[in-house]
Structure 1
Amino acid sequence: MNVLVITGSNRKHATSTRLAEYAAQLIREKGHDAVLFNLYETPLPFYAPDEKMEDNTHVAELKSRMLEAKAVILATPEYHGSISGVLKNALDHLGQSYFSGKPVLSISSSGGAVGVSSLLQLQAIVRNLHGINAPEWISIGGSQRRRFEATYDGYEEYEGSSDIEERVQRVVGSFLQLAQALNPDQKP
Protein backbone atom coordinates (compact mmCIF):
# COMPACT_ATOMS: atom_id res chain seq x y z
CA MET A 1 0.00 0.00 0.00
CA ASN A 2 1.23 3.50 -0.83
CA VAL A 3 1.24 5.95 2.10
CA LEU A 4 2.06 9.62 1.54
CA VAL A 5 3.63 11.42 4.49
CA ILE A 6 3.42 15.21 4.23
CA THR A 7 5.78 17.00 6.60
CA GLY A 8 4.66 20.54 7.30
CA SER A 9 7.58 22.35 8.84
CA ASN A 10 9.77 25.15 7.57
CA ARG A 11 12.75 23.97 9.63
CA LYS A 12 15.51 21.78 8.27
CA HIS A 13 15.67 19.44 11.28
CA ALA A 14 12.17 19.82 12.68
CA THR A 15 11.14 17.28 15.30
CA SER A 16 7.77 16.91 13.55
CA THR A 17 9.59 15.95 10.34
CA ARG A 18 11.83 13.48 12.17
CA LEU A 19 8.75 11.99 13.88
CA ALA A 20 7.14 11.61 10.44
CA GLU A 21 10.31 9.99 9.08
CA TYR A 22 10.18 7.49 11.94
CA ALA A 23 6.53 6.71 11.15
CA ALA A 24 7.49 6.22 7.47
CA GLN A 25 10.28 3.85 8.52
CA LEU A 26 7.81 1.79 10.57
CA ILE A 27 5.43 1.64 7.59
CA ARG A 28 8.23 0.40 5.32
CA GLU A 29 9.19 -2.22 7.90
CA LYS A 30 5.61 -3.53 7.63
CA GLY A 31 6.11 -3.98 3.86
CA HIS A 32 4.25 -0.89 2.63
CA ASP A 33 5.52 2.03 0.58
CA ALA A 34 5.92 5.33 2.41
CA VAL A 35 6.80 8.45 0.44
CA LEU A 36 7.77 11.67 2.22
CA PHE A 37 6.72 15.02 0.79
CA ASN A 38 8.83 17.45 2.81
CA LEU A 39 7.49 20.99 2.53
CA TYR A 40 10.82 22.40 3.73
CA GLU A 41 12.64 20.76 0.81
CA THR A 42 9.76 21.11 -1.65
CA PRO A 43 8.16 24.50 -0.94
CA LEU A 44 4.88 25.42 -2.56
CA PRO A 45 3.78 28.84 -3.76
CA PHE A 46 1.07 30.60 -1.80
CA TYR A 47 -2.31 29.21 -2.77
CA ALA A 48 -4.34 31.64 -4.84
CA PRO A 49 -7.73 30.31 -6.03
CA ASP A 50 -7.81 32.64 -9.02
CA GLU A 51 -4.48 31.40 -10.37
CA LYS A 52 -3.73 28.12 -12.14
CA MET A 53 -0.70 26.51 -10.53
CA GLU A 54 -0.47 23.25 -12.46
CA ASP A 55 2.71 24.56 -14.10
CA ASN A 56 4.46 24.65 -10.73
CA THR A 57 6.45 21.42 -10.49
CA HIS A 58 6.12 21.15 -6.71
CA VAL A 59 2.33 21.57 -6.79
CA ALA A 60 2.08 19.05 -9.63
CA GLU A 61 4.25 16.57 -7.70
CA LEU A 62 2.14 16.93 -4.54
CA LYS A 63 -1.09 16.40 -6.47
CA SER A 64 0.33 13.39 -8.31
CA ARG A 65 1.58 11.77 -5.10
CA MET A 66 -1.77 12.40 -3.40
CA LEU A 67 -3.63 10.67 -6.24
CA GLU A 68 -1.31 7.65 -5.94
CA ALA A 69 -1.62 7.43 -2.15
CA LYS A 70 -4.08 5.09 -0.49
CA ALA A 71 -3.43 6.62 2.94
CA VAL A 72 -1.95 9.88 4.23
CA ILE A 73 -0.02 11.10 7.25
CA LEU A 74 -0.03 14.83 8.01
CA ALA A 75 2.78 16.02 10.29
CA THR A 76 2.95 19.51 11.74
CA PRO A 77 4.72 21.49 14.40
CA GLU A 78 2.30 23.32 16.64
CA TYR A 79 2.69 27.07 16.20
CA HIS A 80 0.64 29.34 18.47
CA GLY A 81 -1.93 26.60 19.04
CA SER A 82 -2.36 25.81 15.35
CA ILE A 83 -0.92 23.90 12.41
CA SER A 84 1.97 25.35 10.44
CA GLY A 85 1.24 27.83 7.67
CA VAL A 86 3.13 25.75 5.10
CA LEU A 87 0.99 22.69 5.82
CA LYS A 88 -2.23 24.71 5.65
CA ASN A 89 -1.04 26.17 2.35
CA ALA A 90 -0.36 22.67 0.98
CA LEU A 91 -3.82 21.49 2.06
CA ASP A 92 -5.35 24.54 0.36
CA HIS A 93 -3.76 23.39 -2.92
CA LEU A 94 -5.64 20.09 -2.58
CA GLY A 95 -9.34 19.41 -2.60
CA GLN A 96 -11.81 16.71 -1.72
CA SER A 97 -10.87 14.58 -4.72
CA TYR A 98 -7.41 14.05 -3.19
CA PHE A 99 -8.64 13.01 0.27
CA SER A 100 -12.09 11.50 -0.24
CA GLY A 101 -12.31 8.10 1.45
CA LYS A 102 -8.61 7.98 2.39
CA PRO A 103 -7.49 7.28 5.95
CA VAL A 104 -5.44 10.11 7.46
CA LEU A 105 -3.21 10.04 10.53
CA SER A 106 -2.41 13.41 12.14
CA ILE A 107 0.82 13.90 14.08
CA SER A 108 2.35 16.92 15.77
CA SER A 109 5.30 18.15 17.77
CA SER A 110 4.98 20.98 20.26
CA GLY A 111 7.45 22.93 22.33
CA GLY A 112 4.89 22.70 25.15
CA ALA A 113 3.44 19.59 26.72
CA VAL A 114 1.51 18.31 23.67
CA GLY A 115 0.14 19.71 20.42
CA VAL A 116 -3.53 18.84 20.75
CA SER A 117 -4.90 22.10 19.31
CA SER A 118 -3.13 21.53 16.00
CA LEU A 119 -4.37 17.93 15.86
CA LEU A 120 -7.98 18.99 16.44
CA GLN A 121 -7.66 21.52 13.63
CA LEU A 122 -6.08 18.95 11.30
CA GLN A 123 -8.91 16.54 11.96
CA ALA A 124 -11.48 19.24 11.18
CA ILE A 125 -9.70 20.00 7.90
CA VAL A 126 -9.55 16.29 7.01
CA ARG A 127 -13.30 15.94 7.67
CA ASN A 128 -13.98 18.91 5.39
CA LEU A 129 -11.84 17.28 2.70
CA HIS A 130 -13.85 14.04 3.15
CA GLY A 131 -10.87 12.09 4.42
CA ILE A 132 -11.25 9.51 7.18
CA ASN A 133 -9.49 10.49 10.40
CA ALA A 134 -7.61 7.74 12.18
CA PRO A 135 -9.17 7.31 15.63
CA GLU A 136 -5.79 7.93 17.30
CA TRP A 137 -3.16 10.59 16.71
CA ILE A 138 0.42 11.18 17.78
CA SER A 139 1.54 14.25 19.67
CA ILE A 140 4.91 14.76 21.27
CA GLY A 141 5.96 17.69 23.37
CA GLY A 142 8.45 18.92 25.91
CA SER A 143 11.10 16.34 26.78
CA GLN A 144 9.38 13.74 24.57
CA ARG A 145 10.75 15.64 21.57
CA ARG A 146 14.32 14.74 22.53
CA ARG A 147 14.07 11.38 20.74
CA PHE A 148 13.33 13.20 17.47
CA GLU A 149 15.82 16.06 17.69
CA ALA A 150 18.63 16.23 15.15
CA THR A 151 21.28 15.78 17.85
CA TYR A 152 19.74 12.56 19.20
CA ASP A 153 22.25 9.74 18.64
CA GLY A 154 20.22 6.78 19.90
CA TYR A 155 22.52 6.14 22.84
CA GLU A 156 21.14 8.79 25.13
CA GLU A 157 18.70 7.86 27.81
CA TYR A 158 15.94 10.27 28.67
CA GLU A 159 12.71 9.97 30.56
CA GLY A 160 10.06 8.08 28.61
CA SER A 161 12.19 7.25 25.55
CA SER A 162 10.86 3.71 25.10
CA ASP A 163 7.30 4.84 25.88
CA ILE A 164 7.37 7.33 23.00
CA GLU A 165 8.61 4.77 20.48
CA GLU A 166 6.10 2.17 21.69
CA ARG A 167 3.25 4.67 21.39
CA VAL A 168 4.29 5.69 17.86
CA GLN A 169 4.60 2.03 16.85
CA ARG A 170 1.16 1.22 18.28
CA VAL A 171 -0.57 4.18 16.62
CA VAL A 172 1.12 3.60 13.25
CA GLY A 173 0.11 -0.08 13.45
CA SER A 174 -3.48 0.89 14.19
CA PHE A 175 -3.43 3.37 11.30
CA LEU A 176 -2.15 0.68 8.91
CA GLN A 177 -4.94 -1.67 10.04
CA LEU A 178 -7.50 1.03 9.22
CA ALA A 179 -5.84 1.73 5.87
CA GLN A 180 -5.78 -1.99 5.04
CA ALA A 181 -9.47 -2.36 5.99
CA LEU A 182 -10.36 0.54 3.68
CA ASN A 183 -8.12 -0.81 0.90
CA PRO A 184 -8.49 -4.59 1.07
CA ASP A 185 -7.08 -5.02 -2.45
CA GLN A 186 -3.76 -3.42 -1.38
CA LYS A 187 -1.20 -5.89 -0.11
CA PRO A 188 2.04 -5.06 1.74
Structure 2
Amino acid sequence: MITIISGTNRPASNTLKVAKYYQKTLAEKGLQTHLFNLEDLPGSLISSDLYGKRSAEFAPVQQLIANTSKFLFIIPEYNGSFPGVLKTFVDACNFPESFYDKKAALVGISSGKYGNIRGIDHFGGVCSYLHLHVLPLRIHISAIKAELDENGDLFREDTIKFTNQQMDKFIAF
Protein backbone atom coordinates (compact mmCIF):
# COMPACT_ATOMS: atom_id res chain seq x y z
CA MET A 1 0.00 0.00 0.00
CA ILE A 2 1.18 3.52 -0.82
CA THR A 3 0.18 6.46 1.37
CA ILE A 4 0.57 10.16 0.64
CA ILE A 5 0.94 12.22 3.81
CA SER A 6 -0.23 15.84 3.67
CA GLY A 7 2.25 17.11 6.25
CA THR A 8 0.25 19.81 8.02
CA ASN A 9 -3.02 20.10 9.87
CA ARG A 10 -3.68 23.60 8.55
CA PRO A 11 -7.21 23.76 7.07
CA ALA A 12 -7.46 24.27 3.29
CA SER A 13 -3.68 24.17 2.91
CA ASN A 14 -1.64 24.30 -0.27
CA THR A 15 0.05 21.17 1.07
CA LEU A 16 -3.21 19.27 0.72
CA LYS A 17 -3.68 20.66 -2.80
CA VAL A 18 -0.23 19.37 -3.80
CA ALA A 19 -0.93 16.00 -2.12
CA LYS A 20 -4.16 15.68 -4.12
CA TYR A 21 -2.30 16.64 -7.30
CA TYR A 22 0.26 13.89 -6.66
CA GLN A 23 -2.51 11.40 -5.92
CA LYS A 24 -4.37 12.27 -9.13
CA THR A 25 -1.23 12.17 -11.27
CA LEU A 26 -0.03 8.90 -9.76
CA ALA A 27 -3.48 7.41 -10.50
CA GLU A 28 -3.10 8.52 -14.13
CA LYS A 29 0.21 6.63 -14.12
CA GLY A 30 -1.57 3.51 -12.83
CA LEU A 31 -0.62 3.74 -9.14
CA GLN A 32 -3.42 3.76 -6.57
CA THR A 33 -2.64 5.55 -3.31
CA HIS A 34 -4.24 6.49 -0.02
CA LEU A 35 -4.13 10.11 1.10
CA PHE A 36 -3.76 10.86 4.78
CA ASN A 37 -4.32 14.46 5.77
CA LEU A 38 -2.88 15.42 9.17
CA GLU A 39 -6.08 17.45 9.69
CA ASP A 40 -7.65 14.04 10.37
CA LEU A 41 -5.47 13.31 13.40
CA PRO A 42 -7.37 13.04 16.69
CA GLY A 43 -7.54 16.36 18.50
CA SER A 44 -6.33 14.61 21.64
CA LEU A 45 -3.20 13.18 19.95
CA ILE A 46 -0.74 14.84 22.32
CA SER A 47 -2.47 13.60 25.44
CA SER A 48 -3.82 10.28 24.18
CA ASP A 49 -1.35 8.73 21.74
CA LEU A 50 2.21 9.45 22.80
CA TYR A 51 4.56 7.51 25.08
CA GLY A 52 3.04 4.09 24.53
CA LYS A 53 -0.60 5.13 24.89
CA ARG A 54 -3.12 4.41 22.13
CA SER A 55 -6.59 5.84 21.67
CA ALA A 56 -9.42 4.26 19.72
CA GLU A 57 -9.37 7.34 17.44
CA PHE A 58 -5.71 6.81 16.48
CA ALA A 59 -5.94 3.02 15.99
CA PRO A 60 -7.16 3.22 12.33
CA VAL A 61 -4.39 5.73 11.56
CA GLN A 62 -1.82 3.38 13.07
CA GLN A 63 -3.24 0.49 11.03
CA LEU A 64 -2.98 2.55 7.82
CA ILE A 65 0.65 3.43 8.56
CA ALA A 66 1.55 -0.15 9.54
CA ASN A 67 0.04 -1.45 6.27
CA THR A 68 1.89 1.11 4.13
CA SER A 69 5.04 0.04 2.30
CA LYS A 70 5.79 3.38 0.57
CA PHE A 71 5.14 6.93 1.74
CA LEU A 72 5.10 10.18 -0.15
CA PHE A 73 5.43 13.12 2.23
CA ILE A 74 4.32 16.59 1.10
CA ILE A 75 5.93 18.92 3.64
CA PRO A 76 5.43 22.67 3.95
CA GLU A 77 7.99 25.00 5.44
CA TYR A 78 7.18 26.11 8.97
CA ASN A 79 9.69 28.43 10.62
CA GLY A 80 12.60 27.17 8.52
CA SER A 81 11.82 23.49 9.03
CA PHE A 82 8.82 21.13 8.93
CA PRO A 83 5.59 21.32 10.95
CA GLY A 84 5.67 20.14 14.55
CA VAL A 85 2.45 18.21 13.98
CA LEU A 86 4.30 16.04 11.45
CA LYS A 87 6.94 15.15 14.05
CA THR A 88 4.24 14.52 16.65
CA PHE A 89 2.47 12.24 14.18
CA VAL A 90 5.68 10.27 13.55
CA ASP A 91 6.31 10.07 17.31
CA ALA A 92 2.79 8.72 17.90
CA CYS A 93 3.24 5.88 15.40
CA ASN A 94 4.52 2.56 16.70
CA PHE A 95 8.25 2.00 16.30
CA PRO A 96 9.71 0.13 14.49
CA GLU A 97 6.83 -1.36 12.48
CA SER A 98 5.44 1.93 11.21
CA PHE A 99 8.39 3.11 9.13
CA TYR A 100 11.36 0.75 9.60
CA ASP A 101 12.86 -0.43 6.27
CA LYS A 102 10.03 1.07 4.25
CA LYS A 103 10.41 3.60 1.41
CA ALA A 104 9.56 7.27 1.07
CA ALA A 105 9.73 10.23 -1.27
CA LEU A 106 9.87 13.83 -0.03
CA VAL A 107 8.35 16.97 -1.53
CA GLY A 108 8.98 20.34 0.08
CA ILE A 109 6.81 23.38 -0.54
CA SER A 110 7.06 26.95 0.63
CA SER A 111 5.70 30.37 -0.09
CA GLY A 112 9.31 31.60 -0.16
CA LYS A 113 11.94 30.94 -2.76
CA TYR A 114 13.69 27.81 -1.45
CA GLY A 115 10.94 25.17 -1.43
CA ASN A 116 11.58 24.05 2.15
CA ILE A 117 15.11 22.80 1.48
CA ARG A 118 16.01 23.03 5.16
CA GLY A 119 12.83 21.33 6.38
CA ILE A 120 13.24 18.46 3.92
CA ASP A 121 16.82 18.06 5.10
CA HIS A 122 15.66 18.05 8.74
CA PHE A 123 12.94 15.51 7.99
CA GLY A 124 15.48 13.42 6.09
CA GLY A 125 17.39 13.10 9.36
CA VAL A 126 14.25 11.79 11.07
CA CYS A 127 13.79 9.33 8.19
CA SER A 128 17.36 8.09 8.60
CA TYR A 129 16.82 7.45 12.30
CA LEU A 130 13.63 5.51 11.49
CA HIS A 131 15.46 3.45 8.81
CA LEU A 132 13.01 4.86 6.29
CA HIS A 133 14.72 4.66 2.88
CA VAL A 134 14.28 7.95 1.03
CA LEU A 135 14.22 8.35 -2.76
CA PRO A 136 17.28 10.47 -3.63
CA LEU A 137 15.25 12.82 -5.88
CA ARG A 138 13.70 15.29 -3.46
CA ILE A 139 11.50 18.00 -4.95
CA HIS A 140 11.41 21.57 -3.63
CA ILE A 141 8.56 23.75 -4.90
CA SER A 142 9.00 27.40 -4.06
CA ALA A 143 6.47 30.25 -4.35
CA ILE A 144 3.73 27.62 -4.08
CA LYS A 145 0.90 30.15 -4.43
CA ALA A 146 2.15 30.96 -7.95
CA GLU A 147 2.54 27.26 -8.82
CA LEU A 148 -1.10 26.22 -8.34
CA ASP A 149 -3.93 27.03 -10.72
CA GLU A 150 -7.57 27.67 -9.72
CA ASN A 151 -8.20 23.90 -9.57
CA GLY A 152 -5.29 23.30 -7.18
CA ASP A 153 -3.14 21.70 -9.88
CA LEU A 154 0.48 22.42 -10.64
CA PHE A 155 0.68 24.03 -14.06
CA ARG A 156 4.19 25.33 -14.70
CA GLU A 157 6.01 23.24 -17.29
CA ASP A 158 9.29 22.85 -15.40
CA THR A 159 7.54 21.95 -12.13
CA ILE A 160 5.41 19.35 -13.90
CA LYS A 161 8.54 17.95 -15.56
CA PHE A 162 10.39 17.50 -12.25
CA THR A 163 7.41 16.20 -10.29
CA ASN A 164 6.73 13.67 -13.06
CA GLN A 165 10.35 12.52 -12.92
CA GLN A 166 10.04 12.06 -9.18
CA MET A 167 6.75 10.17 -9.51
CA ASP A 168 8.20 7.84 -12.15
CA LYS A 169 11.19 7.13 -9.92
CA PHE A 170 8.88 6.64 -6.92
CA ILE A 171 6.83 4.07 -8.82
CA ALA A 172 10.01 2.14 -9.69
CA PHE A 173 11.54 2.58 -6.19
> TM-score, length-normalised on structure 1?
0.80
Q: Distance in 1 between matches of 2:151 and 2:23?
A: 19
The alignment partner of 1:96 has SS state of: coil
| 1:32 CA displacement | 2.1
Q: Which residue of 2 aligns with 1:82?
A: 81
The alignment partner of 2:101 has SS state of: coil
Q: Distance in 2 between matches of 1:61 and 1:137?
A: 29
1:1-188 equivalent positions in 2, closer than 5 A: 2-43=1-42, 45-46=45-46, 48-49=50-51, 52-53=53-54, 55-57=55-57, 59-94=58-93, 95-113=95-113, 114-142=115-143, 144-148=144-148, 152-153=150-151, 161-178=156-173
One-letter amino acid matched to 2:50: A
Aligned residues: 168
Runs of 4+ with deviation above 4 angstroms: none
Q: Distance in 1 between matches of 2:50 and 2:66?
A: 21
Identity %: 23
> TM-score, length-normalised on structure 2?
0.87
Gaps in structure 2 of 5+ consecutive residues: none
Across the aligned residues of Structure 1 and Structure 2, the Cα RMSD in angstroms comes to 2.2
The alignment partner of 1:112 has SS state of: coil
Contact 1:106 1:119 in 2 (8 A): yes
After superposition, the C-alpha distances for 1:81-139 in whole angstroms (9 at most, x for unaligned) are 11101111111112222112211011121121121011001111111111101111121
Gaps in structure 1 of 5+ consecutive residues: 179-188
Relative distance call for 1:70 and 1:81 in structure 2 (3 A) is: same
